[in-house]
Amino acid sequence: MANYLEVRSLSKQFGTFTALGDVSLDVIEGEFVCFLGPSGCGKTTLLRAIAGLDPQTSGTIRQKGRDVSALPPAQRDFGIVFQSYALFPNLSVADNVGYGLVNRRQNKGAIARRVAELLVLVGLPDAGPKYPAQLSGGQQQRVALARALATSPGLLLLDEPLSALDARVRLRLRHEIKALQRTLGVTTIMVTHDQEEALTMADRIVVMNHGAIEQVGTPQEIYRRPATAFVADFVGSMNFLAGTLMAPDRVRVAGVDFACPVQDGLAPGQKVSLCIRPEDVRVRDLPADIANRVPVEVAELDFVGAFCRATLKARATSDVSVTADFSSNLIRDLGVDIGTKLDIALPPDRVRIFA
């Protein structure tokens, strides 16, 4: 598949502050890419550079083979949706959606047909004569989406489009946007700080921190095989246990050795973190010879709905603790409560080691 967008060595300075440092990235035609990271990580800066709204200090951007690095936004090919919707409040929904069409000197009938089509597409067939203020937040964001798509841009840019909406609307729109994107096949970049959003919507996720890319990968790759401690921590929940690498496949934590996948890049003796996700901690049916067994005591139990998040203290040393997700079934079956003593295992294939 062809690269639709090629970003090479992009840097952006604000005075002495480096907002983006030497970022390179490819986006394939038709894919849905999410820029994910905490606020201030440079994800919006990267998006605005791609749009040409805040041009980069150095580096190149090619869109469909065309070097757009120095082009102003109006000469690039994209549609954009902002967190604030940026709908024109004094124009009707139909006029908003048709805003970019009117300028193309199409006849009125054609414009009206296209606007109606787009409003059907975003599920608001009757909203045309209304004004933005008469719509809910979710509806307004749909109108913004229709407006951005009206001119059939090759690239759709979404800047935190769901952040201003309440939780239920956000959930519904996630699916709608994803479905729409799949139907239209438009290459899409979305900026978000919400990992769940990124995981459910994106074909690929670009995790960013401090103006640099930490990892690029599918949601599964990002979640299962985080490339850096930052990604491991930022995406999903993760236990971090401080230890020392004893051998390429052994880590010592609080005097106890744990098996782990073979580490090539790290030298024995190095301080490392042993990481495991709470849902990967095993409790049930532990075989007698299971690796990485730890006797623990339940210190806290937080009800989260579908499951409980338990804080488990190692019985040997009280300064090592691990959180684990226990299903309601498990809690009932094992009679888990605060103070319960039990054994857990950290499956070596689920353990990740970061320097």
Partner 1 sequence: MSLAAPAVKPGMSRDDLMMRGGVVLLAGVLLVMLGLPLWSLLAKGFEDRDGKFIGLANYVSYFSTPALFQSALNSLQVASITTVIVVPLAFLYAYALTRTVLPMRWLFQGISLIPIFAPSLLPGLALIYLFGTQGFFKALLGSGSIYGIDGIVIAQVFYCFPHATLILTTALATSDARLYEAADVLGASKRRVFFTVTLPGAKYGLISAALVVFTLVMTDFGIAKVIGGNFNVLATDVYKKVIGQQDFSMGAVVGMVLLAPAALAFLVDRLVQRKQVALLTARAVPLVPRPKLGRDLFFTLFCAAVSAAILTILGMAIWGSLIKYWPYNLSLTLDNYDFARFDANGWESYWNSVRMALGAAVFGTVLMFTGAWLNEKTRGFGAMRGVVQFLAFLPMAVPGLVLGLGYIFFFNAPNNPLNFLYATMGILVLNTVAHFYTVGHLTATTALKQIDPEFEAVSASLKVPIWKTFVRVTAPICLPAILDIAIYLFVNAMTTVSSVIFLYAPDTKLASVAAVNIEEAGTTAAAAALCVVIVLTSAAVKAAHLVADRFLFARLQVWRRR
Contact pick of 16, 39, 103, 107 for partner 1 (by CB under 8 A)? 103
137 makes contact with partner 1 (CB under 8 A): no
**69 is a site residue for partner 1 (CB under 8 A):** yes
Strands 58-63 vs 66-67: parallel, antiparallel or unpaired: antiparallel
How many beta carbons lie within 10 A of that of residue 317, not counting itself? 12
Of 6, 28, 40, 53, the one binding partner 1 (CB under 8 A) is 53
**Given candidates 20, 148, 208, 351, which one binds partner 1 under the rule CB under 8 A?**
148
Q: Does 163 bind partner 1 (CB under 8 A)?
A: no
Q: Is 271 in the site for partner 1 (CB under 8 A)?
A: no
* 146 binding partner 1? (CB under 8 A): no
Does residue 79 interact with partner 1 by CB under 8 A? yes
Pairing of strands 307-314, 3-14: unpaired
* 129 touches partner 1 by CB under 8 A: no
For 266, counting Cβ atoms within 10 Å of its Cβ (0-12 exposed, 13-18 middle, 19+ buried), the class is middle
Find how far residue 342's CA is from the centre of its chain: 35
| Cβ at position 120, least distance to partner 1 in Å | 20
Asked whether 72 and 63 are in contact (CB, 8 A), the reply is no
Task: Candidates 30-38, 77-85, 116-124, 239-247: pick the segment binding partner 1 (CB under 8 A).
Answer: 77-85
Asked if 58 touches partner 1 (CB under 8 A), the answer is yes
Q: What does the block give as tokens for 195? A: 């990992």
Q: Are 87 and 140 in contact (CB under 8 A)?
A: yes
Q: Is 74 in the site for partner 1 (CB under 8 A)?
A: yes
The C-alpha atoms of residue 257 and residue 145 are separated, in whole angstroms, by: 54
DSSP labels for 100-132?
Answer: HHHTTT--HHHHHHHHHHHHHHTT-TT-TTS-G
What lies within 8 Å, CB to CB, of 256 at 6+ separation is 294, 316
Choose, by CB under 8 A, the member of 3, 106, 151, 200 that binds partner 1.
151
User: Does 147 sit near partner 1 (CB under 8 A)?
Assistant: yes
Question: Among 102-110, 174-182, 203-211, 336-344, which window interacts with partner 1 (CB under 8 A)?
Answer: 102-110
Residues that bind partner 1 (CB under 8 A): 8-11, 21-22, 51-53, 55-60, 69-75, 78-80, 82, 84, 86, 88-91, 99-100, 102-104, 131-134, 147-148, 150-151, 153, 157
